[in-house]
Amino acid sequence: MSDALYINGLPLPVALVDAIESGIWQTPKNRDVWHSLFPDAEIVQPTLYSLRAMTGETSWLSEAGSAYLGRAAEGFVPGDIDPSHAVLIADLGPDRLIALDYRESETRPSVVALTSAEHSCWRQVADDIESFMRAIRLIS
């Protein structure tokens, strides 16, 4: 088992650390794997972040404008994001962020994504990092 790694003062889930260390945390070459989680229009150029990129992008989120923080809206849960309780782990292209949301659990954060600029809301796409990795076929 890996030692704990922290970004933004938050512990990365063991499954994510293990995936990074083993080399399986790589952007899938097959774009179709993203369709189980996202509408086609949101999938521009998916990228899973390296640890370095997670750190940099997460620190940027704290300074980002309100459009990146989201807002409450019907049909979008959680709607917004708290930068002090989040770690950016990927994106689907410009302004299409994917994050771990630690507000409900520090040991099992959910995975949330920023919807298109039209809505500017965050929505949960997976219960945890393992579910996210299964959905994009990094693990079975």
Q: pLDDT per residue over 86-123, tens digit each? A: 999 999 998 899 999 999 999 999 999 997 656 688 99
Any idea what the CATH number is for the domain that residue 116 is in? Answer: 3.40.1580
Is the pLDDT confidence value at 8 over 60?
yes
Domain membership flag for residue 1: no
Structural domain that includes position 11: 6-135
Q: What is the share, in percent, of the chain residues with pLDDT greater than 90?
A: 73
| H or E element at residue 68 | helix 66-69
Secondary structure string (H, E, C) spanning 47-59: EECCHHHHHHHHH
Partners of 56 in the beta sheet?
A: none
Q: Domain for residue 111, yes or no?
A: yes
140 is a domain residue:
no
What is the CA angle 27-61-135, rounded to 5? 30
- Confirm if 125 and 34 have CB atoms less than 8 A apart: no
- The residue-averaged pLDDT of 130-139 equals 97
Whether residue 125 lies inside any domain: the answer is yes
In terms of residues, how long is the chain? 140
- Give the pTM: 0.93
Which residue in this structure is represented by tokens 């849960």? Answer: 77
Q: Is residue 18 part of a domain?
A: yes
**Number of independent structural domains in the chain:** 1
Residues 23-67 have pLDDT tens digits of 999 999 999 999 999 999 889 999 999 999 999 999 998 888 777
For the purposes of burial, counting CB atoms within 10 Å of the CB of 65, is it exposed (0-12), middle (13-18) or buried (19 or more)? exposed
Residue 100 lies in a domain: yes
